[in-house]
């Protein structure tokens, strides 16, 4: 599944920004493998393209919580709260 997600991201990068669903799939695969930092980097890279996406913010908050980066985790969870309240 990871190699197929990589191929799909590569194909979509050539055309445009990868789809939200594809990025979330790739990050979930990385999380299942225990690769927290690469999953966080992937989501952070495309966060500017999907700034108010609750899934991105939720995953980033959890990733940085697990990495014990409390300030970043708090930042993403606070952003998620603001998105949900708007």
Phi and psi of 47, rounded to 5°?
Answer: -65, -35
Q: Is the separation of the CB atoms in 56 and 43 below 8 Å? A: yes
Give the H or E element holding residue 26.
Answer: helix 20-32
**Residue with the larger pLDDT of the pair 14 and 55:** 55
What is the value of pTM for the model shown? 0.82
Which positions ≥6 away from 78 have C-beta within 8 Å?
none
pLDDT tens, position by position, 31-74? 999 999 999 999 999 999 999 999 999 999 999 999 999 999 99
Q: Could you give the CA distance from residue 86 to residue 67 in angstroms, rounded to a whole number?
A: 28
Q: Which residues contact 37 (CB under 8 A, 6 or more apart)?
A: 67
């Amino acid at each position: 599944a990871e190699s197929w997600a990589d191929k799909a991201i590569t194909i979509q990068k050539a055309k445009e920004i990868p789809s939200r669903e594809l990025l979330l799939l790739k990050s979930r695969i990385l999380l299942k493998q225990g690769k927290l930092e690469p999953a966080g980097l992937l989501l952070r890279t495309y966060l500017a393209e999907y700034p108010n996406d609750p899934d991105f913010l939720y995953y980033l908050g959890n990733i940085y919580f697990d990495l014990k980066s409390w300030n970043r985790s708090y930042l993403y969870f606070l952003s998620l709260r603001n998105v949900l309240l708007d």
